[in-house]
């Protein structure tokens, strides 16, 4: 089994089956890590980490019922709602992120889907962040094809919209929008020629088969998402998922490795939940093929390791910040260069590298 798996790994496929994905999860951990690191090195510059900084541009009072989320109006989490930020305050925050070493700035809003008036303001935020030479990302809930196009025209590079979990488990977590709604938004985002950031959350009480199905669904999308955020549930008091039994850390590491194997060219992001992880566990995630993190003291409403701590960790592990064309972001001569950056494997577009499985 191992040798069959081994020679097929590293190709770009969109026809994974559940037994194949479950077989990867079932490998001895060291074999799984070995294959994941090998495939990682075939496609990416080793020892580099892409760094994205998040900002909540509109906080709380969300009408949706996502069981993990502190921003839903339905749960008493003690979070104070905040209106859409001013453009200038977002620009100032992006500038600080750039100075701290981030290369991508992700603006998150607690919407089911954005209203037309707010989208105009957000488009202006995107223009300002883009002008700073940062890659731009937004996560604003469901989008229509027209809205996706409007964001593209403002200079948006990535849109984050997660599948969150398997199609089977999804209904246990969210009832106010369907899995198909999410797939429709992802299609609208692709059709507007935006890059896709799409992943999920582990540790919500899902089964091993649900974790396999989530990764299978991501890998079998018509194109692999360029970024795949793998979040560990941040348990927030007041949400229905507070008190869920924590996931075995090695199961989380396995999921990172399987994501790397199923989507060889994508950036796999070790996302929410790092504050609850040991540095040794984070190192294992990088070994498993994670090559991106959220960087900065805050995620959207909850904490993240502070930048100094992350810098020390990266230094101890010999990890470097991913650059734009070999230059660090934050330098004057980097302005406007974000879109010229090649991904670690040199794929301008992932589908251009599609291969057939042997």
Would you please indicate which residues are annotated as catalytic (active-site) residues?
62, 66, 69, 106, 137, 197, 269
Tracing tokens 């999804």 back to the chain, one arrives at: 170
Shortest approach of ligand SAM to residue 185 CB, angstroms?
8
Specify the DSSP element, H or E, that contains 53.
strand 48-58
Q: Which of residues 25-64 bind ligand SAM (CB under 6 A)?
A: 62
- Answer for which of 50, 72, 93, 139 binds ligand SAM (CB under 6 A) is 139
Query: What 3-state DSSP class applies to 266?
Result: coil
Shortest gap between Cβ of 174 and ligand SAM (angstroms)?
9
Residue 72 partner contact from ligand SAM, ligand DTB, ligand SF4, none using kind-dependent CB cut-offs of 5 to 8 Å: ligand SF4
Pick the binder of ligand SF4 from 50, 54, 64, 122 (CB under 6 A). 64
Q: Of the two residues 21 and 234, which places its CB atom closer to ligand SF4 in the complex?
A: 234
Q: Which two tokens stand for residue 106?
A: 């992700």
Chosen residue from 101, 141, 296, 330 binding ligand SF4 by CB under 6 A: 141
Question: How many CB atoms neighbour CB 218 within 10 A?
Answer: 24
**Listed ranges 40-48, 150-158, 188-196, 233-241: which one lies at the site for ligand SAM (CB under 6 A):** 233-241
Q: Does 300 bind ligand SAM (CB under 6 A)?
A: yes
Q: Report how far residue 201's alpha carbon sits from residue 233's, in angstroms, rounded to the nearest whole number.
A: 6
Phi, psi of 241 (to 5 degrees): -90, 0
Taking the least distance from each CB to ligand SAM, the nearer of 111 and 324 is 111
- DSSP, collapsed to helix, strand or coil, labels residue 269 as strand
Q: Which residues contact 312 (CB under 8 A, 6 or more apart)?
A: none
If one asks whether residue 62 binds ligand SF4 (CB under 6 A), the answer comes out as: yes
Distances (CA, A) of 98 to 60, 154, 357: 26, 20, 40
The rounded Cα 80 to chain-centroid distance in angstroms is: 25
Which residues contact ligand DTB (rule: CB under 6 A)?
Answer: 54, 70, 108, 139, 160, 162, 199, 229, 231, 234, 271-272, 299-302
Q: What are phi and psi of 67, to 5 degrees?
A: -65, -15
Between 106 and 350, whose beta carbon lies closer to ligand SF4? 106
Residues 198, 160: Cα–Cα separation, whole Å? 6
Alpha carbons 174 and 177: distance in angstroms, whole number: 7
**What residues make contact with ligand SF4 under the rule CB under 6 A?**
62, 64, 66, 69, 71-72, 110, 112, 141
**What residues make contact with ligand SAM under the rule CB under 6 A?**
62, 68-69, 108, 110-111, 139, 141, 161-162, 164, 201, 231, 233-234, 236, 272, 300
């Amino acid at each position: 089994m191992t040798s069959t798996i081994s020679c097929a790994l590293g190709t770009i496929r969109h026809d994974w089956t559940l037994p194949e994905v479950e077989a990867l999860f079932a490998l001895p951990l060291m074999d799984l890590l070995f294959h994941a690191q090998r495939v990682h090195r075939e496609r990416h510059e080793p020892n580099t980490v892409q760094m994205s900084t998040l900002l909540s541009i509109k906080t709380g009072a969300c009408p949706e019922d996502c069981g993990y989320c502190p921003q839903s109006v339905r749960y008493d989490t003690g979070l104070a709602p905040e209106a859409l930020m001013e453009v200038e305050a977002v620009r100032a925050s992006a500038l600080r992120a750039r100075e701290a070493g981030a290369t991508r700035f992700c603006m998150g809003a607690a919407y089911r889907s954005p209203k037309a008036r707010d989208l105009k303001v957000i488009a202006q935020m995107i223009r300002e962040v883009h002008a700073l030479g940062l890659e731009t990302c937004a996560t604003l809930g469901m989008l229509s094809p027209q809205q996706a196009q409007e964001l593209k025209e403002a200079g948006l590079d990535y849109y984050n919209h997660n599948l969150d979990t398997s199609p089977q488990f999804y209904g246990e977590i969210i009832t106010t929008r369907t899995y198909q709604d999410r797939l429709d938004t992802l299609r609208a985002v692709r059709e507007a020629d935006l890059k896709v950031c799409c992943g999920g959350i582990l540790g919500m009480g899902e089964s091993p088969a649900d974790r396999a199905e989530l990764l299978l669904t991501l890998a079998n999308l018509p194109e692999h998402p360029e970024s795949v955020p793998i979040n560990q549930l941040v348990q927030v008091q007041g949400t229905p998922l507070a008190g869920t039994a924590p996931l075995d850390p090695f199961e989380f590491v396995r999921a990172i490795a399987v994501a790397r194997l199923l989507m060889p060219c994508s950036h796999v992001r070790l996302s929410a939940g790092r504050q609850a992880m040991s540095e040794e566990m984070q190192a294992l995630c990088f070994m498993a093929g994670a090559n991106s993190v959220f960087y900065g003291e805050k995620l959207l409403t909850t904490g993240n390791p502070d930048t100094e701590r992350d810098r020390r960790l990266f230094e101890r592990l010999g990890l470097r910040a991913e650059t734009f064309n070999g230059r660090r972001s934050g330098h004057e001569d980097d302005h406007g260069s974000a879109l010229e950056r090649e991904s670690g494997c040199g794929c301008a577009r992932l589908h251009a590298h599609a291969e057939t499985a042997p």
